[in-house]
Amino acid sequence: MSGVMQLAQRALLTAHGLEPHHLEGIFGKMSAHRVDYADLYFQYSRAESWSLEEGIVKSGSFHIDQGVGVRAVSGEKTAFAYSDDITLNALEDAALATRAIARQGGTQTAKHLHAGKSHQLYLPHDPIATLKAEQKVALLERLERIARGLDARVTQVIANLAAEYDVVLIARNDGLMSADIRPLVRLSLQVIVESNGLREQGSSGGGGRFGYDYFTEDKLQSYAQEAVHQAVVNLDARPAPAGNMTVVLGSGWPGILLHEAVGHGLEGDFNRKGSSSFAGRIGERVAAKGVTVVDDGTIKDRRGSLNVDDEGNATQRTVLIEDGILRGYLQDSMNARLMKTKVTGNARRESFAHLPIPRMTNTMMLNGDKTHEEIIASVKHGLYAANFGGGQVDITSGKFVFSTTEAYMIEDGKITYPVKGATLIGNGPDALTRVSMIGNDMALDPGVGTCGKEGQSVPVGVGQPTLRIDGLTVGGTG
């Protein structure tokens, strides 16, 4: 038995008077009538957050949560119950509540539990314990001093430091039992600059599945420089022009557009129900040649990575679009079974109190063969979107709207002046067909992404190389 499995069993079973044979008994009760799938999801989590504003660490929070979710699936029907009381009685009550959807037609034999396969993508340590409280305060204060020291126009600095320690254990009626210990840290920074009556802001940050020791002096310097640069650039920015034009997307975080406008449309549930614009199009060309999109939950230490998904399946690298051809969707167990295909290790849930659904992990477009400089030089007149803020997408139609936080005009193959107020308006599947140049500088985001779907938030990663997209609509203020 692995060390992670031993730790998880001690924290989530033994500490509450439970043993694996008790779980087998629960599945026996759930299988008195036939179900296609059933699982138990145990979770213990600790989380903290520290916030600095106006030079003072004004707030700090610490939260502990634990519980178990019990689920049974029959056909397209799901019964789900959860409890924050991890006891045999609570499990039995929850199991009885899920039997309402079971089919008639004979009993199933509960299988003996055995450990499943998983990765070792991150250390199973508690990131909250990697710094003392006074060191966490000092880190935030140091970040603020660096940011203020970079430019006299910085008038306000807001910084947030957060960590999570998550222990999960998943048991299934097919006998599989998996465990994971998931560390997660994040440092975010927002600066406000003022000059001649104008006020602008910039932001940055990073994180991943490691301890607070990741945030070295070099990292703090980098975050501060990026946030202050973004804010100062916008002080001098002109109103963005509107119209149909060539748009160049920067590498890294601008992959959030790919995540929202394309990635959600490739999740299995939307395609099984026929509500995605990609539904029923496996094997068809859905993007320009050279466009390859993958979802990879196996990248070491990344914010979106997991050793196992929230159904206990090892995560994997799934090719979604290959050289412009649609190859597959992201699947959990229910949608894979109903679509008669394989699971991809993409079942995710916010907590034990939520149902797992198909979700992205780290979603990215792979490299092409052009340099960033070649792509910029190829544009006669267009927009260079170096960084993004928020966005919205309609899964069914694929239509999206994204706002830029740092953007520039391109004129005669050169980046000329910064613009503000630029929004990108388009259709995800259509935009993929308009990709005309793909850079060789693929980068992942710094580790700050959170994805929302059906009221659930989970950490994710995005990435892409520099991209040239022809004929996007730019909404501006000029």
- 184-218 pLDDT, tens digit per residue, is 999 999 999 999 999 999 999 999 999 999 999 99
Note the pTM of the prediction, 2 decimals: 0.95
Q: Looking at residues 94-100, what average pLDDT do you find?
A: 81
Name 186's Cβ contacts closer than 8 Å, sequence gap at least 6.
160, 161, 162, 163, 205, 206, 207, 303, 447, 448
Confidence band (pLDDT; 50, 70, 90) for 1?
low
Residue with tokens 């055995």: 114
pLDDT tens digit sequence for 142-170: 999 999 999 999 999 999 999 999 999 99
Q: How much is the pLDDT for 106?
A: 47
Give pLDDT tens digits for 417-430: 999 999 999 999 99
CA distances from 429 to 367, 396, 467 (A): 19, 11, 15
Rounded distance between C-alpha atoms, residue 27 and residue 71, angstroms: 10
Confidence of residue 99 (pLDDT cuts 50, 70, 90): confident
Please give the torsion angle defined by the CA atoms of residues 387, 392, 398 and 401, in that order, rounded to the nearest 10 degrees. Answer: -60
> pLDDT class for 116, splitting at 50, 70, 90?
confident
Give the residue from 2, 34, 37, 39 showing the smallest Cα distance to 23: 39
pLDDT of residue 474: 95
Residue 476 vs residue 171, higher pLDDT: 171
Q: Tell me the residue type at 59.
A: S
Q: Biggest alpha carbon distance in the chain?
A: 78
Backbone angles phi, psi at 385, to 5 degrees: -95, 100
Per-residue HEC secondary structure of the chain comes to CCHHHHHHHHHHCHHHCCCHHHHHHHHHHHCCCECCEEEEEEEEEEEEEEEEECCEEEEEEEEEEEEEEEEEEECCEEEEEEECCCCHHHHHHHHHHHHHHCECCCCCCCCCCEECCCCCCCCCCCHHHHCCHHHHHHHHHHHHHHHHHHCCCEEEEEEEEEEEEEEEEEEECCCEEEEEEEEEEEEEEEEEEEECCEEEEEEEEEEECCCHHHCCHHHHHHHHHHHHHHHHHHHCCEECCCEEEEEEECCCHHHHHHHHHHHHHHEHHHHHCCCCCCCCCCCCECCCCCCCEEEECCCCCCCCCCCECCCCCECCEEEEEECCEECCCECCHHHHHHCCCCCCCCEECCCCCCCCEECCCEEEECCCCECHHHHHHCCCEEEEEEEEEEEEECCCCCEEEEEEEEEEEEECCEEEEEEECCEEEEEHHHHHHCEEEEECCCEECCCCCEEEECCEEEECEEEECCEEEEEEEEECCC
Length of the chain in terms of residues written: 478
- Tell me the pLDDT of the chain averaged across its residues: 94
Kindly report which listed range (322-331, 376-385, 394-403, 408-417) carries the lowest average pLDDT score. Answer: 394-403
Judged on CB neighbours under 10 Å (0-12, 13-18, 19+), 99 is: middle
Report which of residues 375 and 95 the model is more confident about: 375
Please compute the mean of the pLDDT values over residues 318-324 and round it to a whole number: 98
pLDDT of residue 261: 84
What percent of the chain is predicted at pLDDT more than 90?
A: 85
Reported as a pLDDT band with limits 50, 70 and 90, residue 271 is: very high
Q: Residue 33: which pLDDT band, with cuts at 50, 70 and 90?
A: low
What is the structure's pLDDT at 32? 66
What integer is the mean pLDDT of 257-281? 93
Q: Which two tokens stand for residue 282?
A: 């496996």
φ and ψ at residue 3, rounded to 5 degrees: -60, -40
Residue 337 CB coordination number (10 Å): 17
Residue 112 has what pLDDT? Answer: 80
